[in-house]
Amino acid sequence: MSAVIVSYARTPIGKFRGSLSHLTAPKLGAAAITGALSRLDNNVPKIAEAYMGNVLSAGIGQAPCRQAVLGAGLPESTICNTINKVCASGMKSIMLAAQTIESNTHRSSVGAPIAMLAGGMESMSNTPHYLPSSRSGTALGHTQLIDGIIHDGLWDPYDDVHMGKCAEKCATEYNISREDQDRYAIESYKRAREAMELGVLDDEIVAVQGPKKRGKDPPDTISVDEELNSVKLDKLPSLRAAFEKEGTVTAGNASSINDGAAAMLIMDEAQAISMGLTPLARIRGYADAEGPPIRFTTAPSNAVSLAVERAGMKLEDVEYHEINEAFSVVALANMRILNLDMAKVNVFGGAVSVGHPIGMSGARIVGSLYQVLKRSNASVGCASICNGGGGASAIVLERLS
């Protein structure tokens, strides 16, 4: 069986404590799911199972995927799975959905055409601080609040350092300068802003209601990514290093902290066609790779090589790449390792400029890759994303429509 994407939608990406901060991750997920379903004009197959990535789950209630699925109005019979592979969670969800289709898991119990739901969601704005000592009590003296975003999303527990320190190590090992990273970040912003101005991504974004206003005024409708115009590019080279006094990684050439969700429907190709649906892209291959935790930054190069091989292709067959910009140095290092042309990588910008809701991004870049292939009239692309712990995931797509 051949797994294909038949629908994709995402919310706008909100700034940290910005226009989407009134929504929990499951509510953002429900909005993205509703958007993906609406793309099918009521010709929706039975959703047998759902996989949604989510990393920062503290405080949002049990079974976040279940909350999002039921919040989108899907039946209570839908099987739900919340996936945490750190930044690769959204992409791993797509891989698991594709595997479920390819293995024909649900065919015996469901006769009609079925689909898997996959995606990711994150509200970094609503991630709480932790008070670990409160359970056993603090007998005397001060106690400390732990930032859940840093502790569970951005900290390498193996080397006990912020993941920005790992990015600094990568920059040193690959001789990638501060200027290299700043130039890359500025280009990411320029590409993303141009894509927004041209309306390139309008058909993938589903509008979300902003917070309630006082009085009778209706809430604003949020329909564009919020991060893009928050940086003055001429000021970016003057920002201080964020992780080391004489370092090269800054808040401007690294990804930001954000809120958002993405969702897609995945089906067997023959079943989709039998329903009269038009598959967007075929999932040709996918892979995970792991290495030393401190070198998570270059793990995408290994995952890409494996995914391309499993797709029965060579790297030269891949026309466009999406490499998640956790840090500018991640994209730069992996482009160097794989000998990629920057003009063919992250064509519409990436996480540095658009934002990086960590549970969402793996799914977002797969959707962005499809848009790049469609707009470029190209056939084959590969999306890859690193994750904390030394890992990465990659997916090869073949555009069908």
Catalytic residues, which ones?
A: 87, 356, 386
Residue type at 36 in one-letter notation = A
Pairing assessment for the beta strands 46-53 and 114-123 based on DSSP bridges: parallel
d(CA 96, CA 256): 27
DSSP per-residue codes, 207-251: PEE-PPPSTTPPPPEE-S-SSTTSS-GGGGGGPPBSSSTT-S-BT
Element (H, E) at 166: helix 163-173
At 328, list the tokens.
């500018």
d(CA 187, CA 348): 10
At 30, list the tokens.
């429900």
Phi, psi of 259 (to 5 degrees): -125, 145
d(CA 108, CA 86): 33
**Residue 202 buriedness (CB in 10 A; 0-12 / 13-18 / 19+):** exposed
d(CA 294, CA 30): 34
d(CA 281, CA 107): 22
DSSP per-residue codes, 66-95: HHHHHHTT--TT-EEEEE-BTBTHHHHHHH
Of 368, 132, 374, 377, the C-alpha closest to 262 is: 368
* 302 close to 308: Cβ distance less than 8 angstroms: no
* 279 close to 47: Cβ distance less than 8 angstroms: no
d(CA 249, CA 242): 6
Of 57, 59, 244, 293, the C-alpha closest to 152 is: 57
At 90, list the tokens.
């959204």
